[in-house]
Amino acid sequence: RGNSKMRVMTDKFNSDIFGIKMGNIIDVSLCCTSEDVRQLIEQATLEQYKHLNVKVNSKDKVSTNAFLQNGFELVDTQLMYCIRTNDYLVNGTRGEKVHFRKYQEGDKEQIINIAKTSYAIDQYHSDLGLDNDLCDIYYSEWIKNCCDGLADKVMVAVLPNNKVIGYITLDYQENQAVVGLAAVQGCFRGRGFFTFLMDNTLRMLYKENIKWLFYGTQLSNIPVLKTMGHFGGFINYSNHVMHFMI
């Protein structure tokens, strides 16, 4: 297919959740053409895919438009922030009554319940072709897998009665850590608990000699963007996320 190395990889996790064959487009060539995308869709149709997902670096306007011209819908723009762990602000956020600790087995049900209701502006909920309830299940299954060992570490914010009010998952790669999922329970939002989670995570990573924390979020997630700025985070790269229903 031309000079393009683009191909579709089956996403088993997503396919199982949504009950249709879903694929992720990988190896997107820089400045790919509308014809490249058209041929890719033809091939995916032959292979009986029903839904395609692609991430294109937001600097690559040519490829972005090639996908849009072929009927892909822009569902999200993701920003990847980078924070130096030794730059955190020591401002004693919400020390009283809230405790930061590692996940324990007894927390699982509470964490899953938070995940079910915490995501609304992500790429899946923004795709009108996907069932919202299944989108909620997607996140609750993902966090359940994180608790069962998919993530290197799950940290929680808890009240004295062991009520979990927020969580953050981490994957370690040499001298850096990447956040997988993070959320604060709805009724506790806007009260500094996400800042509390971030502050304690950065302190912990600094003590572990981890130099950098990477955090991906949506362009439209204003509360998280503000918190990233609060901790001196800068944007490392950004991707447009586009979906196509066959």
The dihedral region occupied by 149, where left means phi > 0, alpha psi between -120 and 50, and beta the remainder, is left
Coil, strand or helix: which one is 151? coil
Q: CA-to-CA distance for 225 and 171, rounded, in angstroms?
A: 21
- Confidence at 97, pLDDT banded by 50, 70, 90: confident
Angle at 63 between CA 59 and CA 69, to 5 degrees: 130
Per-residue pLDDT at 2 exceeds 70: no
How do residues 126-148 score in pLDDT, each as one tens digit?
A: 999 999 999 999 999 999 999 99
Predicted pLDDT at 95: 52
Predicted pLDDT at 31: 86
Residues 6+ apart with CB under 8 A from 208: none
Q: CA-to-CA distance for 52 and 41, rounded, in angstroms?
A: 9
Indicate yes or no: pTM above 0.85: yes
